[in-house]
Amino acid sequence: MEIADVVVRIGEIAPDFEQDTTNGSIRFHEWMGRSWCILFSQPRDFTSASTMELSAAARLRPQWLRFGVKVVALSIDSPDGHARWEKAIAEAEGLALNFPVIADTDRSVSALYDMVPPDNDPSEIVRRVHVIDPDRRIRLMRTYPPATAYNFEAILRAVEGLQLADARLIDAKASDFHPVVGISTVLH
């Protein structure tokens, strides 16, 4: 089976890979350890939606830590481009990124995670977020068009719901969540 024929599905083991990031080279499964993971893609560096998303994900660091989640972004641009982008985000937002950005210049990870658009436009990938549990199983996938930004508060709520469901072995319902992002209602 060619990489282009790979389709990831919910419940399957997330594909492992080794790739350069803004924090050095990582082997994905090893880097994850026993944490939950949010792997999300950015079509290109320096797009307005991507810049807002990276800032939003970085601002949620206390909540990610609370739920045992590691965050990693992916873009098809180079490590040098990512470094310039991180600097621009820090200057504009007053916030340094606190997670790695994968430099998927060869689009190998994009192909593994089915992020390449059907028309195979070599200049973009789709926006996709994967929520991966500590057993390295894909638990949630959401796909967005290139010009639409992620709602990381909704993704955080989904992680909380998955963790609640795992802990209670039942489906989490809306009443299990406190209206403040990242804070659960005490269950009786």
Domain parsing of the chain, residue ranges: 3-150
Asked if 132 and 138 count as a contact pair (C-beta separation under 8 A), the reply is: yes
- Residue 86 pLDDT: 80
Local confidence band at 64 (pLDDT 50, 70, 90 cut-offs): very high
- Residue 121 pLDDT: 64
Residue-wise pLDDT tens digits, 82-100: 788 888 878 877 888 899 9
In this model, does residue 6 exceed pLDDT 80? Answer: no
Q: What is the mean pLDDT of residues 163-176?
A: 70
Whole-structure pTM value? 0.83
Q: How far is CA 41 from CA 9, 94, 107, 164, 179, in A?
A: 17, 22, 11, 26, 27
What is the C-alpha to C-alpha distance for residues 1 and 45, in angstroms, rounded to an integer?
31
Lowest mean pLDDT among 13-27, 59-73, 85-99, 101-115: 85-99
- Ranges of beta strands (E only) in 86-175 are 101-103, 127-132, 138-144
| 55 token code pair | 């800032």
What's CA 159's distance to the chain center, in Å?
A: 12
- Residue 140 pLDDT: 95
CATH class of 3-150: alpha beta
In this model, does residue 61 exceed pLDDT 80? Answer: yes
In this model, does residue 180 exceed pLDDT 80? Answer: no
Strands 69-75 and 36-42: parallel
